Amino acid sequence: PLVAGPLGDAVELVMALFEAFRDDKEVTEPLLERLDGLEPAVHKVALLDPSFFEISGHPVRQVINQLARLRPELGDAGHGRGDLWETVDALLGPAMEGFDRDISLFSDVLVELDALVQRQAAAYQANVDAVVNACASQEAFILARRGLVDEDSAPADPVDRGVSKRSEEHTSELQSP
């Protein structure tokens, strides 16, 4: 080890964490670039703050978790700031470039990432709802065309048809801690 004792253990654990990110085929290249940029700051945090390993809700751990929840295909969820990764870079910049000892910097980043993940979850749910409603309308049209049911009496609400459960399961994946 480069450093002995508990500090050396902290360094090795962070190194192993980031090596696992690099080996994980599910971690996209753009996300990996951001994680690599955060690695030096995470090393500093691990050395300065032992609660990094003890508290699952530690702001730095939560920043990493929220980064993993982002879905590039949902972009910045229509917030008008351009590309998702440009938005993320703007949020992470202070933590990647200016972190010294002030861990609250990560709390500020976390607030913004939480909002971004929530916007993405809302955009995802809106997309699912639009697809479900379009399918319900098509089904009602087809049934009415076949004379099996009056178009006005077909259930228009996807909840009545029991399909919202699947969309809720997918949305909860975006929102789960």
What local confidence, expressed as pLDDT, does residue 11 receive? 87
Separation CA 8–CA 10 (nearest Å): 5
Query: What pLDDT does residue 143 have?
Result: 84
Q: How far is CA 81 from the centre of its chain?
A: 17
Give pLDDT, residue 73. Answer: 78
pLDDT at 38: 93
Please report which helix (H) or strand (E) contains residue 75, including its range: none
What HEC string does 151-166 produce? CCCCCCCHHHHCCHHH
CA–CA gap between residue 176 and residue 108 (Å, rounded): 20
Look at residues 75, 161, 87 and name the one whose alpha carbon lies nearest to residue 122: 75
Give the amino acid at 47: L
CB under 8 Å to 10, separation ≥6 — which residues? 46, 47, 50, 52, 53
Per-residue pLDDT of the chain (177 residues; tens, 9 = 90+): 456 677 888 889 999 999 999 999 999 899 999 999 999 999 999 988 889 999 999 999 999 999 999 887 777 765 545 588 888 998 898 888 877 788 888 999 999 999 898 888 888 888 899 999 999 899 888 888 887 765 455 455 544 444 445 555 555 555 555
pLDDT given at position 96: 81
pLDDT at 144: 84
Contact 128, 167 (CB under 8 A): yes
Q: pLDDT at position 174, please? A: 56
SS3 150: coil
Cα–Cα distance measured from residue 61 to residue 141, given in angstroms and rounded to the nearest whole number = 50
The pLDDT assigned to 97 comes to: 81
